[in-house]
Amino acid sequence: MSKAPKLRTPFYNPDLSYDQNYDQGPFGDFASEEIWQPKQPPRFQFLGQPLDFPFGIPAGPLLNRKFTHAAFRLGFPVATYKTVRRHAHPSHPYPNVMAVKLDGDLTIEKAQQPLIADTTYEQPLSITNSFGVPSQAPDVWQADLNLAVQDARPGQLLIGSFQGTSKGEGVEAFVEDCVETAVLVAQTGAKVLEMNLSCPNEGTSNLLCFDIDRVEQVVKAVKAKVHQPLVLKIAYFVDQAQLVEFVTRVGALVEGLSAINTIPATVVDRTGQQALPGKGRAVSGVCGHAIKWAGLEMVQRLRELRAQHNLQFAIVGVGGVTTVADYQEYRQVGADLVMSATGAIWNPYLAQEIVSTEGVV
């Protein structure tokens, strides 16, 4: 296994608010004007789009075109524009990112107990993030996303991530909001769309991806209006029977499934007090090194179910990818595309390292 690289200056600054990062970022080497290109032409493809190699950054840390443009300059073949909504939506207050102190993997059992978080970031790195899926208004993000799409050179792909917003007006209004948001993203020219089903809470369960009836209804409505390939971002499924139902009911409707987002846990400071202040923030998602096991496991389970049910969806593996070896593990268990969020934030050269160490598989 390759050694975890030394942490660099993160391109999302945890010491600043979300709005400050949006306006002033990216930071560190991500802010350089360096342009890196592979020596070989694109040798892979994802959902019909040519890729230099199957690696990228998922929805979350790439807040706007400045961030996606930096990712493309530094050689990441895939950049996912942060999840957008049909109306402007504010971020949770600062702080939004903290380091989580863990010994080993964040198992489902460990996630039932409070985790300590602070602002000391060190390897192996795991973090918690709590943003509330903020979004600019469409008159801001549509133009910005259109420019981001155009920044992709041959062998690169910009994915547009979106989600619906429930305002308590009923299921039909929520479905309509999902459809209208998807249409707005499609109008930007994004060649692949991703619908976020893994952030609280737009379903009747704690995450929308576990509300399979509603997911099926939303996906059918979106696909009736949008013709670009659609990927669904999902969480870790503890219940295998529930995952089987999800895949058998939805797997034939979409072009891809992406797993995972985070594992939720209660996060406290060293005095035992809530680490992220504010109502509804006692529990937040944990990502980074400690959840790699869950991402790998979900890829394996999805691959097996895809074969068993003769389905064709692509599998995107996400969670704990910080080294070349992590990327290779995901490819070996069946990921058609591998994504890194936490790892890429603290190492903007991760894509280049995969290529330079002949890690591409």
Q: How many CB atoms lie within 10 A of CB 213?
A: 11
Strand partners, 231: 194, 256
Domain at 18-95+136-265+289-355, CATH homologous superfamily: Aldolase class I (3.20.20.70)
Work out the widest C-alpha separation in the chain, in whole angstroms. 54
**How many H helices and E strands in the chain?**
10, 15
Rounded to whole angstroms, how far apart are CA atoms 130 and 25? 18
Per-residue pLDDT of the chain (361 residues; tens, 9 = 90+): 455 668 999 999 999 999 999 999 999 999 998 899 888 899 999 999 999 999 999 999 999 999 999 999 999 999 999 999 999 999 999 999 999 999 999 999 999 999 999 999 999 999 999 999 999 999 999 999 999 999 999 999 999 999 999 888 889 999 999 999 999 999 999 999 999 999 754 444 468 999 999 999 999 999 999 999 999 999 999 999 999 999 999 999 999 999 999 999 999 999 999 999 999 899 999 999 999 999 999 999 999 999 999 999 999 999 999 999 999 999 999 999 999 999 999 999 999 999 988 777 7
96, 122, 269, 275 from 119: Cα distances, Å: 11, 10, 10, 11
Which distant-in-sequence residues (6+ apart) come within 8 Å of 289 by Cβ? 4, 123, 124, 125, 126, 320, 322, 342
- For residues 267 and 264, what is the distance between their CA atoms, to the nearest angstrom? 9
Supply the pLDDT for residue 22: 98
User: Structural domain boundaries of the chain?
Assistant: 18-95+136-265+289-355
Q: Going by C-beta distance under 8 Å and a sequence separation of 6 or more, which residues neighbour residue 283?
A: 264, 265, 266, 267
Burial of residue 92 (number of CB atoms within 10 Å: 0-12, 13-18, 19+): buried
| CA 185 – CA 84 distance, rounded (Å) | 8
Taking the C-alpha atoms of residue 119 and residue 100, their distance in angstroms, rounded to an integer, is 9
Paired strand residues for 84: 162
How is residue 276 written in tokens? 């992220």
Res 4: pLDDT: 62
Q: Which structure tokens are listed for 137?
A: 């208004």
Distances (CA, A) of 27 to 19, 31, 238: 14, 5, 37
Instruction: Report pLDDT for 205.
Output: 43
Q: Is the CB of residue 59 less than 8 Å from the CB of residue 21?
A: no
- Are 38 and 75 in contact by the 8 Å Cβ rule? The answer is yes
